[in-house]
A and B are shown apart, each in its own frame.
Chain A
Amino acid sequence: MAPGLLCSEQPTRRHLGATNILNKFHNFLRLLALCGLLGGLPGPALAHAIIVAAQPAAGTTVTGPDVDVVFTFNVRIDGARSKLILTGPDGGTSEIVLTPNPSPAILAGRLTGLVAGAYSIRWQVLATDGHITRGDVPFVVAP
């Protein structure tokens, strides 16, 4: 399980509308042909749940001292069995108190009293199909 599939600013999960479904069906024959030709990898090297949108986004600089954290995943998350851990500039860690899930794919919380420096949020989630995944979202709080 490689950690830290870095997050993009924009939500990338595709909502399937009628047009999208038609387009997907349109592509499936090409896909089938390709299925026979390609093959690949394995392994638990990539993890099941990935972040599709993050606030703060990975590698960005934000303004403190209070920062809202909203991580959107590609799958349904069991919020009661997932967690977010903040690592501060001094290496100290603290668990972020999660706010009630606004959506089954979102983990959210609020950071308060942050001083300037480099931070990282380690996320660990349990997807509702039983897969446990983790990763890191590093960010900087501006002076």
Chain B
Amino acid sequence: MTFLLDIFGFLSVLLSGFTRSAQSFYLGSICFLFLVVMPFQGELGPIGQRIASGTRRIALYSVTIMMAFLAASLWAHTVILAGTTDGSYLNALGGSYASAQLIRLAAATLAMALLARGGRLGMLVPLLGAIDLAAGIATSHAAARLDNQIILFTATALHHLGAAVWIGGLPAFLFALNTLSHGPGLARVGMRFSMLSLLSVLAIAASGILMLVFYVGSMEAMYGTAYGMMLGTKTILFFSLLGLGAFNARTVRQLSRGANASVLRLKRFVEVEIGIGITVLFVAASITSLPPAIDLVEGRATLSDIVERLEPKWPMLTSPDKDSLAFYEAQRQASEAQASDMLDHQQVYVPGSGVPLPRNAKDIAWSEYNHHWSGIVVLLIGVLALLERSGRAPWARHWPLLFVALAGFLFLRSEAEGWPFGSISLGASLRDPEFVQHKIFMALLISFAGFEWSVRTGVLTRPWARYVFPLLSAVGGMMLLTHSHSIANVKELLLIEMTHMPIAIFGIWAAWSRWLEMRLDGTARNVCGWRWPSFFCAVGAILILYREI
């Protein structure tokens, strides 16, 4: 079980991201129901009833999904903790984290029953939501801090509540927009939700600043640690959401004045807000697995380290020999030593043992070669997509096939030591989060490339098929924000991973631009149509300039 600790760390980030997203939608729908729909229900008449009923259904689905992920998280936590300590499941369930999760499960079960049943007891659901929020905060960073816990608990509560009301309320708002379609009812609901969202943004910003002060504390910690840089990523995505939110707020105000405004654009921007909002919640989950920047004093990257690493260098287009990698060299030395001592053969790297993979200059060259060729392929994809967009090169529509080639290249090259071409078995390789993440990326690449190529060549004509590419691209970008490398040196790790942030952000922007291209009309559609291939070109350029030394 000890060997599964690393993969458990990765799994717990994913489960936490799903739980946070479902919690936000659950709490957000409840807030929308009680603070936006119910005050207008009389005025809106039967349509109001329909919106209330739809919102309750969204809350019900969300709390059910949240329960499933909570149960999975608690199960994984209990099994891994019992398996790596005294073997007692009861003891593992006795900690404060497990107790908080059990409370959340109990409250969610009751909420699910009340939401499914309807009736007057449904008025208790906000109370159950508050219990969930409080118990969730008991498993946040604030719960483990040694000082200023009251301030940090308050800030975290505000942060989570703000995210729930704003991002979590969006699916219910979208449902209301689709139900009302136009008229004064739409403007009134829109104005009220807009006001709540504005208050939520203020709560998120104020609590975020407080947490920035107590968890980061200095400029050096901000740019020199994984926590700080991850926070930067979250902030950039937050500003993307704010931009969309500002457009929507303006549209809602125009509608309330009776002016002409595009309800279609309002709906489409809300769809994108939901997508980017989920990504932000996953980033938040990923941040909780990192030590707060203020604590990580050793091994920070300096500004000059970062600037030096960003200096452009000619791409590495030839690969070192696999046998020259540190793992195989160490393996050879160990075999020779063991042969002379007549000892049993031992692997020099055991995935999940807690000891990182050995690395030398050839490993760096191997990795840079992989990134640089990947960059060339992605840049080519962007250029071909732009050519296709120009309408002058219809043959360029086959660009998705290059993603399949890229997946094949990664399959051959990404794990020199692991399955299928390395000496580490598939079972052992699966204990390494980096290996698992690379294989997930390959599956995503092949899936979205296959769908997109089939759509562009007319093989697949179902309307839903064209949405697979942007949705899976967005998932890929999100997954990149949980990407890790098995390297012991904290500073080197940070400098390597630093490059993944802009790639993930451009990937997410590209995915949602493509979504808008398909869902909007007019000039906005054209702009988005040119924008997403350009983001792919940017990703390609970053990969070509990627450096590990």
Contact = CB atoms under 8 A, between A and B. Distances in A.
B497 A45 contact: yes
A57 to B, nearest CB: 12
Contact of B484 (A39, A45, A135): A45
A110 interface: no
Contacts of A137: none
B81 interface: yes
B286 to A, nearest CB: 5
Interface stretch (B142-150, B159-167, B399-407): B142-150
| B interface, over-half SS | helix
Counting from the closest, the 6 A-B pairs by CB-CB distance are: A40-B229, A130-B97, A41-B497, A43-B484, A45-B484, A38-B232
Task: Classify the secondary structure of A's interface with B.
Answer: loop
Interface in A81-128: 81-83, 104-105, 122, 124, 126-128
B298 A12 contact: yes
Interface residues of B, number: 88
Nearest to B502: A39
B299 A134 contact: no
B146 A30 contact: no
B84 A132 contact: yes
Given A14-B217, A36-B236, A136-B354, A1 B9 contact: yes
B481 A129 contact: no
Given A36-B236, A81-B91, A134-B354, A16 B147 contact: yes
Interface of B: 5-6, 8-10, 12-13, 77, 80-81, 84-85, 91-92, 94-98, 100-101, 139-148, 209, 212-214, 216-219, 222-223, 226-233, 235-236, 239, 283, 286, 288-292, 294-299, 354-356, 433, 480-488, 490, 493-494, 497-498, 500-502, 504-505
Contact of A42 (B230, B235, B294, B298): B230
Contact of B289 (A48, A74, A122): A48
B440 to A, nearest CB: 13
A131 B5 contact: no
B497 A81 contact: no
Nearest to A104: B146
A14 B231 CA distance: 20
A143 interface: no
Contact of A128 (B96, B291, B354, B484): B96
A75 interface: yes
A131 B243 CA distance: 34
Interface in A19-51: 21, 24-25, 27-28, 30-32, 34-50
Nearest to B216: A31
A24 B213 CA distance: 6
Contacts of B295: 12-13, 50, 52, 74-75
A46 to B, nearest CB: 5
Nearest to A76: B144
20 contacts: A8-B298, A31-B219, A37-B232, A39-B235, A40-B500, A42-B283, A42-B482, A42-B501, A42-B504, A43-B13, A45-B486, A45-B493, A74-B146, A74-B291, A75-B144, A75-B145, A78-B95, A78-B96, A105-B146, A131-B12
A36 B242 CA distance: 13
A3 interface: yes
A5 interface: yes
B217 A27 contact: yes
A17 to B, nearest CB: 10
A3 B497 contact: no
B430 to A, nearest CB: 16
